[in-house]
Amino acid sequence: MGSSQSLEIPGGGTEGYHVLRVQEGSPGQQAGLEAFFDFIVSIGNTRLDQDNDTLKELLKTNVDKELLVTVYNSKTQSIRQTTIIPSMTWGGHGLLGVSIRFCSFEGANENVWHVLEVHPSSPAELAGLKPFTDYIIGADSALHESEDLFTLIEAHESRPLKLYVYNTTDDSCREVTITPNTRWGGEGSLGCGIGYGYLHRIPVRSVPEAKPIHNHSHLQPKIPVAAQPPPAQYTVPMTPTASPSPPVVTAVPPGFAIPPNYTPGLPLDSQTPPTNPISSYPSAPPPPAPAP
């Protein structure tokens, strides 16, 4: 949708339209606009450095047309270009579906309040604030100085206060409704520590690089060696296995005769057996002669 580049802002300056809210399914969401961190600084070659009707007129004259938008992101401190198509039929309010406010983005990453420890059963815990990973980045009214948040909290004693919170673990923004109460049973009206200043800014995130896409369609699937049949004319070498050798006759016990064709040194089972093995034994009597 968009690409981060090392671009200079056309016309220079540090002003632009701060994106405060992005509606679900809107052209702004499809263009990848990020609430609270994105600033629209130009459309095409027109620098949006004044709070006038220039942006509104550009959108009206380019409904359903693709526009090139230059955006500054305070979280990554980078500039990127993306395309957006203003629409009157996307299903929500406005041509872009975003809420914006003209202001300077210089020092935008400094006006954040770091949520530190959160005490049990405090208004902060009941509101779902997460210790050390949550950062309060805005409210319905502008917050420019460190004391602006605390003044706003005091003005909402026992009344719901909507805050916009960014979480570093999830890398996402959410709305949090908290009710300050000095009588909740602990210290302060929120029951959480708040850090402000250089040591409590949102860590700068690096812009992710696009991963190269490799086409592996030309690669053939690998077949295991054991599954491949041997080629023709291939002889599988056989390893001889040891088998007991037949006995070799070295001495003839009494009552046994050596076959007539016996060759000394060779096993008996490898030599030609006698024609009548029974008659070779001297203990066998000869058959009787027939009667006359």
Residues flagged as binding site? 18, 103
Question: Which residues are annotated as part of the binding site for Zn(2+)?
Answer: 18, 103
User: What DSSP line would sit under the chain, residue for residue?
Assistant: -EEEE--PPTT--SEEEEEEEE-TTSHHHHTT--TTTEEEEEETTEE--SSSSHHHHHHHTTTTS-EEEEEEETTTTEEEEEEE---S-SSSSSSS-EEEEEEE-TTTTTS-EEEEEE-TTSHHHHHT--TTTEEEEEESS---SHHHHHHHHHHTTTS-EEEEEEETTTTEEEEEEE---TTSSSSSSSSEEEE-SGGGSPPPPPPPPPPPPP--TTSPPP--GGGSPPPTT-----PPPP-PPPP---SPPTT----TT--TTS-GGGSPPPS-GGGGSTTSPPPPPPP-
